Amino acid sequence: MSMWKQLVTLVRGSAHETGQSIVDKRAMTILDQQIRDAGTAQAKARDDLATLTARRRMVEKDVEGFTAQREKYEASARAAMQRGDMDLARQVAERLATIEADLSAKTPQIEEMRGAEDRMRGVIQSGDAKIEALRREVDVVRANESVQKAQAAVAGNYGGTLSQLGSAAESLQRMKERQAIQGEKFRAAAELEDMRSGADLDSKLKAAGLLQGSSSADDILARLSAPPAKDSLRLSDGSGDPKSLPRE
């Protein structure tokens, strides 16, 4: 029996969590509808206030009419009494009694209705202020919700961008490593080719100045500045001009 109670409690708890989740997701929609309902109630209250004000003004008109009738009948009663017509004066007095009874009944109503109007105005003003404050809060919450969604999207995109940049940087580093390895392969192959053909040995001899047929710029300048050999033979080319030829 205890297990069944626990299962029932679990089902009720799950239903509550599900309902609460739905309410939370649709909180803005529910709140907007509640604000609209409150606005409708405020409009109904304003209409009731207008009706009460209209009725109070009608009562005031009645009181004004009864007051005018009372003044008229009081003057008529005095005139009848002055002429000695007491029967007519009594009839007028009876009418005055009815008018004064109506005045006694309606005059307090006016004050009561005015008080009710003041209370309703206070309630309506308070309701309007609360609804307006609630609307401002809803606007702030809605704006914050939009900003947070935008921030979440930016954060997601930023994370994806960083991930893409990291992948691109890794790819670039791998390309550099492949190029460096390929360059070393090219240099190693060139060195092997020079060793096979003897070009590396010729380069060493040329650098040491021991390779025949090779001369540096300094060697050429030294040769050009050296005086001609004294034991060279002077030969004539048949034109009478002597020509100096080196001796073998």
Length of the chain: 248
Residue 203: band (very low, low, confident or very high) from pLDDT cuts 50, 70, 90: low
For residue 221, being part of any structural domain is answered with no
> Measuring CA to CA, how many Å separate 145 from each of 35, 82, 140, 155?
19, 87, 8, 15
What predicted TM-score, i.e. pTM, was given to this entire model? Answer: 0.50
Average pLDDT score, the chain? 76
- Residue 240: per-residue pLDDT: 47
For residue 97, being part of any structural domain is answered with yes
pLDDT, tens digit (0-9, with 9 covering 90-100), for 114-143? 999 999 999 999 999 988 988 888 888 888
For residue 204, being part of any structural domain is answered with no
For residue 43, being part of any structural domain is answered with yes
Question: What one-letter code names the amino acid at 182?
Answer: Q
pLDDT, tens digit (0-9, with 9 covering 90-100), for 93-108? 999 999 999 999 999 9
Distance CA 174, CA 243 (A): 72
pLDDT, tens digit (0-9, with 9 covering 90-100), for 54-77? 999 999 999 999 999 999 999 999
- Residue 149: per-residue pLDDT: 76
For residue 91, being part of any structural domain is answered with yes
CATH number at residue 117: 1.10.287
Nearest alpha-carbon partner for 142 in 21, 39, 31, 19: 31
The total domain count for the chain is 1
Helix spans in the chain (H): 2-25, 27-83, 86-197, 199-208, 217-225
- Residue 98 belongs to domain spanning: 25-167
